[in-house]
């Protein structure tokens, strides 16, 4: 195909896309239009004079461009723009994880109806070719599970804390470096990773999960003491997104998890993303690399354009051959847990904890207590044998309001070799 490309948005990623297209000039691809609000401040002298700049999105939708690259982000008004482009028969390449997670199935149907294509390799893990890898490289396998670090901001914060930084300092540095927004909730509370997990589940497991049904747990409860006890358990702590199909049931969750040092996921540091894909026949495959930033994400966008120019409609056809089906999702992984408690020490606390766990048929595996802490604010950890989250939650609720409890307990699942 000969592609005339209209670029919506020239922020960090959009400007990198424009730069790659102008510098590399991939065969069969021509940048013809650029849209941005207040577009005059975005003009660059390295963009060819033939490119039309505009702050009127209607000029893009009416143009002769046959591919729209959407890099504005968000749901509104970008969702309207993408739908109108597809209805006009224009293919769309996007990195908009929110839009694809919420409306991807509908938009793929719309693209097929109007003989257009929808590609979104940049929507998950930035420059890592995880979506093309799932739809092409692993198409011959039956994917049963995904575990991954899908949010570079959280990975930066937690790996800094692993090195001894305080949580507040790590977050402040992430904001100063542009990794985290002024309001970091989307990242630290797991919503960004959850949207990406929905997209991966659709691409790899062919299930369409409702975001609202996937349990998210914030990393804000993790403190420096938790890394000390993690080392006792030969683990570190990472925000892990995971989904698994087992016995006709789908399990999914996002949150901080104790990751054994032997796991590849423990090796990911800084803003790096890593995804471990488990197949029935091929076993585990690991995707790793820069998950954010203008240039890595732009590479994924341009790769989608090149695939389209080379007739790569198979990226959409991969979804057509195995359409995503809606399926209920549960967060009830059966797994070991580590429970960190901070107490006003007195006799009988361990007995009370053991009794509450026993009522839920949960066995204690081990108890860890590091020396050197005051009895009035004493941290220790109880690890338990595999159980469901709901059973453990009932046991922990027993402690609510107890006079000996100085802070709410922190429950960290322990990642096993199999989810």
Domain 130-290+325-330: assigned CATH number:
3.30.360.10
Average pLDDT over residues 82-108: 96
Q: Are strands 235-246 and 249-260 parallel, antiparallel or unpaired?
A: antiparallel
Residues 6 or more apart whose Cβ sits within 8 Å of residue 243: 145, 146, 197, 200, 201, 205, 209, 250, 251, 252, 329
Chosen CATH of 335-413 out of 3.30.70.260, 3.40.718.10, 3.40.50.620, 3.30.1490.20: 3.30.70.260
Average pLDDT over residues 179-195: 93
Q: Which residue has the tokens 């403190």?
A: 223
283 has pLDDT over 60: yes
Model pLDDT, residue 108 = 94
Q: How confident is the model at residue 315 (pLDDT cuts 50, 70, 90)?
A: very low
More confident residue, 381 or 178: 381
Q: What are phi and psi of 79, to 5 degrees?
A: -60, -40
323 has pLDDT over 80: no
Least confident residue range of 71-85, 198-212, 290-304: 290-304
Eight-class DSSP state of 203: I
User: Chain-wide mean pLDDT for the chain?
Assistant: 92
Q: How confident is the model at residue 288 (pLDDT cuts 50, 70, 90)?
A: very high
Model pLDDT, residue 207 = 93
Average pLDDT over residues 265-275: 93
262 has pLDDT over 70: yes
Model pLDDT, residue 322 = 55
319 has pLDDT over 70: no
170 within 8 A of 156, measured Cβ to Cβ: yes
Average pLDDT over residues 299-318: 77
Q: How confident is the model at residue 419 (pLDDT cuts 50, 70, 90)?
A: very low
For 31-62, the pLDDT digits (tens) are: 999 999 999 999 999 999 999 999 999 999 99
How many CB atoms sit inside 10 A of residue 368's CB? 15
Domain 3-119: assigned CATH number:
3.40.50.720
| Catalytic residue annotation | 196
144 has pLDDT over 50: yes
Model pLDDT, residue 181 = 83
What share of the chain in percent tops pLDDT 70?
A: 96
318 has pLDDT over 50: no
| Domain spans in the chain, listed from the N-terminal domain onward | 3-119, 130-290+325-330, 335-413
């Amino acid at each position: 195909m000969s592609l005339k490309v209209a670029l919506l948005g020239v922020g960090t990623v959009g400007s990198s896309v424009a730069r790659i297209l102008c510098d590399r000039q991939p065969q069969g691809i021509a940048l013809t239009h650029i849209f941005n609000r207040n577009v005059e401040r975005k003009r660059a002298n390295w963009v060819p004079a033939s490119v039309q700049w505009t702050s009127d999105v209607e000029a893009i939708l009416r143009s002769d461009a046959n591919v729209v690259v959407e890099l504005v982000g968000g749901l509104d008004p970008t969702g309207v723009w993408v739908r109108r482009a597809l209805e006009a028969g224009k293919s769309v390449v996007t990195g908009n994880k929110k839009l694809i997670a919420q409306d991807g199935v509908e938009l793929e149907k719309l693209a097929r109806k109007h003989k257009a294509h929808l590609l979104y390799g940049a929507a998950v893990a930035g420059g890592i070719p995880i979506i093309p890898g799932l739809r092409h490289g692993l198409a011959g396998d039956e994917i049963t599970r995904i575990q991954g670090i899908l949010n570079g901001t959280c990975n930066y914060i937690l790996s800094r804390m692993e090195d001894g930084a305080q949580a507040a300092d790590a977050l402040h540095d992430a904001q100063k470096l542009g990794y985290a927004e002024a309001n970091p909730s989307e990242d630290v509370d797991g919503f960004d990773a959850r949207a990406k997990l929905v997209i991966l589940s659709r691409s790899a497991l062919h299930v369409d999960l409702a975001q609202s049904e996937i349990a998210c747990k914030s990393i804000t409860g993790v403190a420096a003491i938790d890394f000390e006890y993690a080392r006792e358990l030969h683990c570190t702590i990472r925000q892990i997104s995971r989904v698994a199909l087992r016995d006709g049931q789908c399990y999914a969750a996002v949150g901080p998890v104790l990751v054994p040092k032997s796991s590849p996921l423990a090796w990911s540091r800084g803003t790096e993303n890593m995804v471990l894909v488990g197949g029935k026949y091929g076993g585990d495959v690991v995707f790793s690399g820069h998950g954010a930033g203008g240039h890595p994400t732009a590479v994924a966008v341009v790769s989608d354009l090149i695939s389209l120019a080379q007739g790569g409609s198979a990226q959409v056809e991969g979804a057509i051959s195995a359409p995503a089906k809606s399926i209920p999702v549960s967060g009830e992984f059966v797994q070991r847990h580590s429970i960190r408690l901070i107490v006003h020490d007195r006799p009988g606390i361990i007995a009370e904890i053991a009794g509450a766990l026993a009522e839920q048929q949960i066995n204690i595996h081990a108890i860890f207590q590091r020396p050197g802490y005051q009895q009035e604010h004493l941290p220790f950890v109880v690890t338990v044998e595999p159980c469901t989250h709901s059973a453990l939650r009932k046991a922990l609720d027993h402690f609510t309001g107890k006079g000996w409890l100085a802070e709410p307990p922190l429950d960290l699942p322990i990642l096993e070799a199999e989810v």
